[in-house]
Each structure stands twice: as structure tokens, then as C-alpha cells.
Structure 1
Amino acid sequence: MDSNAVELQNSYEISTTFELPCTICRRRKVRCSKTLPCNNCERAGAPCSYDDAKRTSRRPPRHAELSTRLARVESLVRSTSQHTKQSNSTTASERGSMDAALESDPTMESLVKRLEHKHRSQLTTPDPNSKRGKLAYVEGSSRSIQTRFWAGLYEEVPSIRGLNPAVYKILNLKYLLEEEQPSALNFLFPETIPTSLYEQTPISQVHSDLLVRSFIQNVDPFLRILHKPRLLLELNYVRRGILRDGDDFECQLHVIYALGTIPMTDDECIFQFGVEKSILMSNLKAAAERALSRLNITSSHKIRSLQTLLLYITLLFWTGNITQASGLLGLAVRFAQRVGIHKDGERFKLSPWRVEMRRRMWHHILLIDTWCMEHEGAESMILAESSDNTLPQNSNDASWDACEFALEGPTPSTQFTDMTGVLVQFELALVSRTILEGSLASGEIEASFQFQKELVSQARERLDAVYLRDLDVRQPSQKIIKDLTTLAYERLFFAIHQPLFKHGQGGELGTPELRSELFDRAIAYCETVQRLQDEYAPHHLDWIFVRAFFWDSVAIMLTTLTREHAHGSTAQGQRAYRRIERLFQYRQSIDYLAGNGNLWKPLLQLWEGLQALENDGSERHDVDVLGDLNGWPVDSVNLDFDIDSAFPFDVPMGSGGADLAMHSLE
């Protein structure tokens, strides 16, 4: 071996390989092992040499490994020396970069995170051992409710002096444990479902078209988990007998029929079907439950089956079966996780249309979860970090290509589309969830209040800029979005302020002026809901305002009139009394309000107690309120609130009566 080969071998103590054969093998045109020496040269005893520019090492030289280890040690020492200075908090530069990242993201979720980050120093981390919520308990049964749920906010009522304790002993929460009549969940036990009239005699195509049209025009604008063009195409296919999963579609169709019945009036049901609406709905729900029993919901992996289950849960909620809807939601959440709906479809290279439909379903699940938090006091079933799904797109259904091979979706619109209404619902649900899950620890009431007030204020600005500013209020389909959003803001106002009076924990924030303001606004809220029902009745959209019923508004009016009976002789008190009287007079005839008897019990007892006070010699002096039980009082009070109080409203005068209109924040 010559000196050149020896020098090369000494310069590489680790195993070395080369890209090209050695000089001799290349000249002889034989296979070379590309080592030093190569196998051929070693057997022949010939000097082995390579072109120095073509060698490569199987691993880096030893000094590179030592440099890496040294850098790692230096990094460890540096981080250890800075640990005390950082004290488990982010540095100013990190906070700045986080704020910048959140500022660049315009979504509502980012807005919530940004405000939480801003107020983090004042909002302490909740103690997991602290008492959270309330528990109604009797031997063998119990029920948990959230701290902010209205039913747990009135423990002070029994302490009112001079009132009959037998009448007002309602607040041990045991009434929450009363079982409702089983009117849902039957599809899990099909043998308990009565045979429906519409299974014995299949529904005619004329009636089918009528109910599907009612669903698409008057119900689907508040759902949007189905694709309208696809729905109508599949309806055509199933009638021709060429739809591949026709049985599953027909199961879904039964639920659509029941949903399509909700906007119809009693007279329409009698005219078209020959039966009252309640009987028609009962038959259609029974048919839907028997159809669901055939879908194998507990172990299915079919997306259509999940859609059908979500439609059915929504039907239960909108017909007043809130407890049953809440119970089924857990099944739907697990179903969605089983089929991966909670993960954004873009990660899995699905077609744009399929990604969109999966996003719609997941956000509808979040919406139902929020409804259960608001109306049942339940805790959320869904952890925020468990999903990475983004909001659905603001585009019309007709703009989507439902073909699974489509490579591109439509461009998101900045104008009103089919999706505008539900997107506003989805974003408001996130705000509501944040408030309902907020802490009520006595040490941070004011900080929490400021955070929530700022959250709603900025949410209003965002929704107005993105969705509401350019709506044409001359069109009922667009005006209704603004009206529903206004009512939602008012419910958020109650959710933030009413808990301040629980045991007086709001301190200086829970003033008599605020209590009076809540009373006035509760009256205005109920009156506005009634006016909007009348306004949208010709369009068959009044039903959605019945679903805007708010427990807190009724409870506030009842407790205020009971506490301060002198209110009953004022114009405001008369308006509240008449509104409550009308509610209890007609409640049983309205499907959404007729159920949930256990939640109505405390309100009913307060109402009976108020009537007892009225009959015990505290005579009400009738005030001339221009209107009757069926009318709309035109002398509504003008609620002129301080602009610095939380996102105020006023109730202006007008020929149509009071309305909730928002001040400008500027």
C-alpha cells in the first residue's frame, strides 16, 4: 500500500465509503466495494486509491458528536440559570409573539383566547378542590347543575320576611330529580315504541313533499347539517328505487318529516292531514324512533346515521324534551369521535365538500351542548382541546360540488348566504360557553365580570363586521338573523349580571339599580319575543322565537315582584304580571314549554305565592297599560343605561311597541 493510501486510511478512523469505485476497479470495469482498501485490491495486494472529492462518511466525524454534546450541556446550564427569573411565566417577547399570533387570527376562538390571555393575571386558576356547582340529592338519586344555572341562583327567596315559608320552600333543588315521562330514547328499545299510524299507512308523496318543503324553508336555515341539493337529489333517487343506501335515507326522512311539522299551525295540520298538530307530531316522532332503531346507532360508522341522530336530538330539544336530548348528546359525541368528525377533514385529504359537511355536524354538536348548558345546567361534554375543526364556510349550498372527486370548494362569501345564520349561532355559542364555564370565586368576581363584559363587546364588533352589517332587513330571512342575535346578546347580559346577586357575592357590583335594570330588561325581553312571534308568524318562522324562551327572564320578574310587592302597583309591575299570567295560561298548549315540568316547578310555586300575596289584601291598583294579554303594550319604558355599563340596550318607542335595540359602543 503506497503512502497516499496510508495517509487516506489514517485520516478516517471510522468506517468510510465512497460514491465512486476506486481507481483500479474503475479502470478494470469491475464491481467495487467502495471501501478503503476495496475487496478487489485487498485480495490482489494492489494499492487502493480514490478521488478525494468523492468520499462520504457513514456518520459524522467524532468531533461533530462532541460539539453536539457540548451544545446540549451549554443549553441545559443556560436554561437552569434562567429558571428563577422566568418563574413559570412567559417572557415579554413570548407574550408579544403570542399576542401577535392571536391578533393575526380573526376567528371568535382566537378572540376568546386573546382576552383570556389579557386577563390571565387577574383570573386565577380554579382550585380543583373548590366547590363547583350544586348537587341535588336524595337517597338513590342525584343531579348536578352548574353554578350559573338559573335554578341555583335563588336560594335567598326563602329568607324573605313575612312570606309563607311553606310556599317558598322550593330551593333544596330536589324538584330537579323528578322523572319526566319517557318520550324519547325509545329507539334504543324498539319493542317499547308504539306502531305509528304512518308505518301502517305510508305517507303519500303529496304529504311528503309538503313536510320536506316545510323543513327546507322554515327549519333547515337554523340547522344546516344537510346539503339541500343533495337531499332533494337523493329524495328523487329513493322514490325511483335507485339510491344505494335507500333504507338509511328513509330513516332520515322520517325525522325530517317530524321537524317539518314544527312550523305548521294546528289549522294547517287538520286541513292537510286531518288530525291535530300534537297527534301528527306524536305519530311522526314514533315513526322516526322506530326508524332510528334500525340504524344500529351504538356501533355504526355511517355518517348519515350520525346526521339522522343529530336531527333527532334537535327535534327533541325543539319539542321541549331537553333532558332526553341532553342524555342522547353523549351518545352523539362518542359517535362523532368514533367516525372522526371532531378532527378537521383537511388533515385527511378529504374532498372540500366532505370536509365542509363534517365541520357543520361537529359545530352543531357544540351548539346542542351549549343549549344543554343554558337550559339544563349541565356541564359541557366536550373539551376544547379535543377538536381541531374550524368553522364551516360562509357559502351557499348550491355553490358546493358534492362530488367526492372535486378538488376545490367555492370561495367564501362576505355577503349573506345559506350559512350566515348558523355561523352567527356557532360563534355566539362559543361566547356563551365561555361565560357559563367562567369562575364565580368570591375573590375574582370583578375581574371575571370585566373579562366577560369585554368579551361580549368585542364579539359584537366582530359579528357585526363579518356577518350582520350588510344584511338587508327588508328580507325576513336576513332580518331574523339580526333579531335572534339581539335576543342572544340580551341573554348574555342576564347570564353575566344575574349571578352577582347570589348571596350578595357581587359586592359593590350588585346594586339595587342593577337589580331594577334586570327587572326592566326581563320585561322588555319577554315582550320583544312576543312581538317577534307575531311579526314572523305569516312567514312560518314564529316557532323559533318560542324556542328563545329564557328561564332567567321569568325568574327575575317573579322574584322581583315577590320581593318588592310595591312593584305590582306600577306600570312596570303590571306589565310583568300580565306577561307572567299569559305565560302560565298558555304554557301547556305550546309543545316546547309544556315539558320539563321539574324546571317549571319552582317558577310555578313562585307564581302561586305571588297570586297568594295578591289575594291577601295587597290589592293591585290597575294602571292603564295600553294593551291587553294578546296585545303589545305601547308605553314601554325607555331603558336609558349608562354607556359604560355592560353592552347596554334601550327600548325605544315605536308603532310596533318596544324592541331591544343596541347602543353604539363608540
Structure 2
Amino acid sequence: MNPLSEPTDQAGTAPSSPSVNKPKVRLSCETCRQRKVKCDKLNPCTNCQRLGARCVPVERARLPRGRSGRLATERPGDQDANLKDRVSKLESIIRDLARGGSQASVRAILAAAVEESSQDGENSLGEDDSQAGGVRRPDTYLGSSFWANLLNEVPDVHPNERRSSKSDDRNAETNNLINYRRLLTMASGSGGTTNSEPPGTSSTHQQLCCLFMQRVDPICKILHRPSLKAFLVDGSPYLDYEPGHLAPTALAYSVYYAASCSLSDEESIRSFGVPKSTMVSRYQKEAEAALARADFITTNDLTVLQAYVLFLIALRSQDQSRRMWTMLSMALRIGQALSLHLPDPPFHVRPFERELRRRLWLAIGFLDIQASMDRASEPMMQASWLESHPPANVNDIDLSPNMEANPPDSPGFTDMTFTMMVHKTQYVARSLNFSGFMEPSITTLAIRQQLVLEFQQSVTKLLQHAEPDKHPFHWITRAIAECIHACMQLITLRPLQRSPNFTPPLVRGDRLLEFAVNVLIVSRRLRSDPRFTTYQWFEFAFPPWHCLAVALAELCVCDDKAVMERFWDPIEESFHLLGRLIADSQRGMLWKPMEKLMARARDRRVQLLASPSPDAYSPSLSTAVQQQPISMQMDTQGFVPGIDGRVGLQHAVAAMNTPESVVDGTWPNVWDAVDFSYAAPGTAQVAWMSYENFVADFYVNVDDPLVNR
């Protein structure tokens, strides 16, 4: 048991005599213990008075003769006699067993029993902490009567025996650390322990903190930057925590770990004199150790959960396996335990903490949708959990720990604008991509198209004060928003999940292929742009593998040699590039179906190249438009106002004329080439079948034991 998180009145009860008449010792109150803040032990305490909470005092009897509470009459002579009696009984048990088998079998059985009992003991670790003075639980908690007798007679074999009463608390803390460290190291694939130095005590820590604020904080807006700077740069206590508290320490090392992940190899060697891999490995272990000490699995502390979520974001940037995907479930459950999913939690929350809670919940939602997209799996969170209580779109300077009211949204481009854009993305992606597992699925094309249009309008309003020519981060936000919007159009027409009620519409000519390839080209240009270098570590988020799958499915039924050759090179380049970005790299469940689709496209290309050459290919107007970068494209024909000429015409036209709609005409679209009036026949239907087979292969690979280890 962690002595920092559990009351000690049980451990302090002496087994020999009642504590009714003994003086009481006042401990931290229940509220301060749960919040893990220092309590002045008044009645009521100052913290509870300030929060307006009910103060529940905690008292225990003063311990007799030290913490162990052992009887003064327990003398060495009695212990020797007890030991001899135990040895005699043990010899008798072994002799009885030896009559039925050889000595070798006896030793084998004993070894197996000890190992099995130790495992059982680990599963019930800490349950005997409520037994005062090291008294063991009854025999009914053990297995057969023989092994129960054996374990009771041999203290060294008993898994939960407390052998040294003077170090009960130290042993409990060590056991807690070892078990939680074991969980983290199993999840991250690393081992060993790390002796951390205090955060902020070295120039390396100062540099990493600055890197975090420049590279990680703008796109993962979880923390309050002024408070973090005061803690890690200026050396002040973090918020209302006392110096040396475990929660801010865990946060600090998660910050350092995330910052080290944002480095390139050249930057790491130039600034810190060691390769990036060394920096990442060191601070990953430091962060794991700090999270384990903070008891992150059962924590009620928002700061510890912030540290854990930052750790997961950084982990995914370096690790393509399913470790983060699996560990994310703990973050979600801890968030639910803290009532982050509720707009109004059932306890008092100050406005400043409310904003931090909402930011953190959005970050968990981002990891959830990113992991779902990564693996074509169902998300764990409902869209309504995120839509009901978003954070305020404000700058960090508009927030302070002592503010009395919730801040209003700021009109300009704020510290939260990128995060709010990702928030809009989360909601639409959940609605478009996934079947009715968590929520009712949306298969009606009119509603699906309207969701994308509403996303475009919302993001345009968010970015209306952006200055991409002056600020690189504004340009990056706009470029990512355009890529996401284009991907959403493809997802509208080619959903990620199979649905028997969905009928794909006809896309005229090669526009679907052109559009998908153009998204791949622009995405690659974005990742190679010098303005994106600062945020290169974040390229793992939403790689456009879905666009690649759509393009390959179209190539599989392509009949035009010129079209095949025109788009083959960018598709092949994207195929090799995305292999290192997606989940599990080229060994995972996503890439196996992609390789099959690529093989079919290559076979189709070989067939076309071997056939007689047709007439020279003349690119259409749409092809010429699609050759331009997304940021330079002009919407020459405009959005189709509804799914057909009759459905939603007035509503869509009115929406497009609102001030928040697109006024510069630069958002790319494929709607003008879509015929929504009937199902796609001929080659278009074959292309749809190729894509459906690709999606179906996901579920085959999920059950493959050789994939995704």
C-alpha cells in the first residue's frame, strides 16, 4: 500500500490492547489526503475552508513502542522456542509427504508450490495490510490444506509475510513502486530503475522545458504555460503543491520526455552531446519511475493524469506498436474516475481547474480517435462526451489559478485554436468513420456531407483571424485543417467501417483518384516544408493511409494507361513513406491489406503497360485544377448544395452564405464530381469492391496471432 495515499489508522492499531484511552494523533483530513496536498490539521482545515468542502478529520491512536506495536513481553527466548516448534512441524510434514514419493519429487513439488503461492500472493498484494502487527489472514485464503500448512510454518515462503516491523511503510512503498514500475516497463518495453534528480535543477532540464513550450505545448494544449514556466524555469512551487510533491515531479519528467521526443538526432547531439535515442531512453525511464511513484493507476490527482497523457502522446511518437493503444484505456478510466466526462462533476471545481480538466479530456479524446484511426478500431469515447463541455478558446494569459469565473472565448487566433480545430475533427471523424458500436452510425449521404460542410464552416470561423503569411504556426494550422477536410470528403464516400446499408455514389471520371492522390501529394509537401520542421515529431498523427487505400482501389480498375502513369509515382512514394508512420509500421494489421492492394495495383499496371497504347491523354479541367497545391486551388464549380437537386438545397445554400462560410474559395472539394442520384455501376462498383475487400482484411488480420505482436 502506498503510504501517501492510504490512511494509517489500520496499520497503527496495536493487536494487544484497545486504544480507547490512548491519546489520539491528528492526521491529514480526508479531502487533503485525496487531493494530495498539505493539511494544517485544523478542524476544519484551511484548505477545506477555502474550497467550501466538508472537512473529515482522521485520527488514530498513538502507537505503543514504535510503529510496530509489538508486545513488550515478546522476548528472544520465546522466539527461539517458537522457531524450534515450527521446524519440528515442518519436518513432520515433509516426512509424511516423502512416504509417497522420492526426495527429488518432494523438492519439485515444494518448488512448484512456492512459485504458485507467490503468484497468488502477488494477485492479492496489499490485502494483508489491514492486519495489524503483521498478523496473517486465515488459512482459507490459501490453497489446499497441505500448502496452507507449509506456508504457515515457513515465514520466508509466505508471500505476504511482513518480516520487519520497523520498515513496514518503506516496504509498502517499495512494493508499490516495483509493481507499478513492472506494469509500465512491460508496456513500454524497457526495464531497470532510475534515480531521478529533482526537476529543474540542471541546464538540460531548462533547455528541455523551453523545447516543450515551443514544440509540444502549441499542438498538445493540456497545461497552463505560465504555471509550468514558474515551476520548471523559475523554481517556484507548482500551483498549490508543496515542494517535492510526487505529482509535479511526474509532470516535469513527462514534459522532459515529450521534449526529448521532439528533437532530431542532429539537434540532440548539438545541444546535449548525446544521440536522440539516448535522450529518449533516459527520460522515458525517468518519466516511468516518476509516474510509478505518484501511483498513477489509482490516482485522484489531475496533475498525475496530465503527466500520464503527455507520456502516452510522446510514447506514440516513438513507438508504433500497440502499447499506447492498450495503455490509453487506463487514461480513459482514470479520467472517468475523476468525472472528466461530466460537464458538471459532483464536487466543487474552481474555474481554473475546470479549464484544465476540459483540456485534458480533449487530449484523451485525441489519443482515442488517433488510435482508432491508426488501427481501424472502434473508439472508446462517445462523441457526446467531448461535445458537451469543450474548453474555452482562450490564451493561457487569460487564465489564472485564482480566477473567479469561466473566461469567455477570445475572437482571435489563440493558444487553443489548434486544439479546438482538432476537437472539431474528433467529432466529425467519430460520426463518419465508425459503425453503431458506441453510437448510432450515420449512413445517409446527405447527413454525412452536411457534417463535412459544418466542419468546414466551424474551422473557417476559428481561422478567420489567422495570419499564415506572418506566423508559421498559423500556416501549419490552416494547412492541416485543409488536409483533414479533404480526407473527410473521401471518408464520406469511402467509409472506414463496413456497413450493409451504405451504397457508394458515382464519382465521374477519375476525379476520386485525382482527389485522393492530390491529398497524398499535399500531405507529403506539408511534412517536408521547413515551417513544419519544428513539429515534425507530430507527423504520426493522422497519416493519410485512407487516401492511399482509396487511390490504390481506383488504380486496380484503371483502364487508361496515361492516367495510371500520371498518378503512379506519387502513389508509390506515399506507399513507402507511410509505411514508417502507421501503427506497427510494415508489420501490423493495417499494412498487410495495404500490401495486397498495392500488389493488385502493380499487376494492373503491368497489364496496361503491356497493352497497345491508346490515343494521347488530354487532362481534363478538373485534372488541371487538382495538379495545384491545396492552398492554391480555386473552387471553380462550388459545392454541390445538397445530396441531389432536391434534398437540402435551401439549407445548404443558406449555410454557404453565412459569414462563417468559406469566402475565399480555396477549400478543395470533390462534391462537384459526385452523382448522388444512383448507385455506381461498372468499373466504379468494382473499385468499391476492391476498397471493401481492403477494409475486410483488417478484421482478418486482427485475429492473426502473427500480426501485431
Shorter-chain TM-score bucket reads 0.5 to 0.7
C-alpha distance in structure 2 between counterparts of 1:486 and 1:617, whole Å: 34
Is this contact kept in 1: 2:374–2:582, CA < 8 A? no
Aligned to 2:477: 481
Q: Residue 216 of structure 2 is aligned with which of 200, 219, 224? A: 219
Matched, 1:460 2:456: yes
What displacement does 1:333 show? 1.4
SS of match in other structure, 2:508: helix
Matched, 1:517 2:511: yes
C-alpha distance in structure 1 between counterparts of 2:336 and 2:192, whole Å: 33
Is this contact kept in 2: 1:367–1:425, CA < 8 A? yes
Shift in alpha-carbon separation, 1:291–1:222, aligned structure 2, 3 A: same
State the one-letter code of the partner of 1:350.
V
Is this contact kept in 2: 1:359–1:389, CA < 8 A? no
State the one-letter code of the partner of 1:456.
V
What displacement does 1:365 show? 1.8
State the one-letter code of the partner of 2:416.
M
What displacement does 1:394 show? 1.4
What displacement does 1:376 show? 1.8
Q: Residue 535 of structure 1 is aligned with which of 523, 526, 529? A: 529
Aligned to 2:72: none
- Cα deviation 1:504-562 (Å, max 9, x = unaligned): 9755x532527x32211111111101212232446513444553412211112222223
Is this contact kept in 2: 1:438–1:448, CA < 8 A? no
Shift in alpha-carbon separation, 1:247–1:486, aligned structure 2, 3 A: same
Is this contact kept in 2: 1:471–1:478, CA < 8 A? yes
Shift in alpha-carbon separation, 1:200–1:231, aligned structure 2, 3 A: closer
Matched, 1:573 2:564: yes
C-alpha distance in structure 2 between counterparts of 1:427 and 1:190, whole Å: 31
State the one-letter code of the partner of 1:355.
R
SS of match in other structure, 2:218: helix
Q: How many residues align?
A: 454
State the one-letter code of the partner of 1:288.
A
Is this contact kept in 2: 1:529–1:548, CA < 8 A? no
Aligned to 2:466: 471
What displacement does 1:269 show? 2.0
Aligned to 2:202: 205
Shift in alpha-carbon separation, 1:287–1:563, aligned structure 2, 3 A: farther
SS of match in other structure, 2:412: coil
Aligned to 2:330: 331
Aligned to 1:366: 365
State the one-letter code of the partner of 1:476.
P
- Cα deviation 1:94-132 (Å, max 9, x = unaligned): xxxxxxxxxxxxxxxxxxxxxxxxxxxxxxxxxxxxxxx
- Cα deviation 1:354-391 (Å, max 9, x = unaligned): 11111111122222222233222222323456689511
Q: Which moved more, 1:335-344 or 1:380-389?
A: 380-389
What displacement does 1:251 show? 2.5
C-alpha distance in structure 1 between counterparts of 2:265 and 2:201, whole Å: 20
What displacement does 1:579 show? 2.4
State the one-letter code of the partner of 1:601.
K
C-alpha distance in structure 1 between counterparts of 2:285 and 2:320, whole Å: 14
State the one-letter code of the partner of 1:394.
N
SS of match in other structure, 2:494: helix
Aligned to 2:393: 394
Structure 1 residue runs without a partner (length 5+): 1-183, 625-632, 649-658
C-alpha distance in structure 2 between counterparts of 1:417 and 1:428, whole Å: 18
C-alpha distance in structure 2 between counterparts of 1:641 and 1:299, whole Å: 56
Structure-to-structure mapping, 1:601-640, within 5 angstroms: 601-611=592-602, 618=609
Q: Residue 417 of structure 1 is aligned with which of 414, 417, 432? A: 414
C-alpha distance in structure 2 between counterparts of 1:634 and 1:429, whole Å: 29
C-alpha distance in structure 1 between counterparts of 2:421 and 2:596, whole Å: 36
Shift in alpha-carbon separation, 1:577–1:462, aligned structure 2, 3 A: same
Aligned to 1:550: 544
Is this contact kept in 2: 1:316–1:322, CA < 8 A? no
Which of the two has higher C-alpha Rg? 1
Is this contact kept in 2: 1:399–1:410, CA < 8 A? yes
Aligned to 2:590: 599
Aligned to 1:265: 264
State the one-letter code of the partner of 1:351.
R
What displacement does 1:603 show? 1.5
Structure-to-structure mapping, 1:348-359, within 5 angstroms: 348-359=347-358
Matched, 1:407 2:385: no
C-alpha distance in structure 2 between counterparts of 1:197 and 1:362, whole Å: 30
State the one-letter code of the partner of 1:415.
G
- Cα deviation 1:294-315 (Å, max 9, x = unaligned): 2322211111111111112222
C-alpha distance in structure 2 between counterparts of 1:664 and 1:525, whole Å: 11
Aligned to 1:560: 554
- Cα deviation 1:615-661 (Å, max 9, x = unaligned): 6794599x99xxxxxxxx9777989666317899xxxxxxxxxx973
C-alpha distance in structure 1 between counterparts of 2:605 and 2:198, whole Å: 53
Shift in alpha-carbon separation, 1:189–1:376, aligned structure 2, 3 A: closer
C-alpha distance in structure 2 between counterparts of 1:453 and 1:635, whole Å: 24
Aligned to 1:302: 301
Shift in alpha-carbon separation, 1:505–1:270, aligned structure 2, 3 A: same
Shift in alpha-carbon separation, 1:389–1:295, aligned structure 2, 3 A: farther
What displacement does 1:411 show? 3.7
C-alpha distance in structure 2 between counterparts of 1:580 and 1:198, whole Å: 48
Q: Which moved more, 1:232-241 or 1:206-215?
A: 232-241
Aligned to 1:344: 343
Matched, 1:661 2:667: yes
SS of match in other structure, 1:598: coil
C-alpha distance in structure 1 between counterparts of 2:566 and 2:314, whole Å: 33
Is this contact kept in 2: 1:493–1:646, CA < 8 A? no
Q: Residue 428 of structure 2 is aligned with which of 424, 428, 431? A: 431
Matched, 1:313 2:309: no
Aligned to 2:28: none
Matched, 1:493 2:465: no
CA RMSD, aligned part only?
4.3
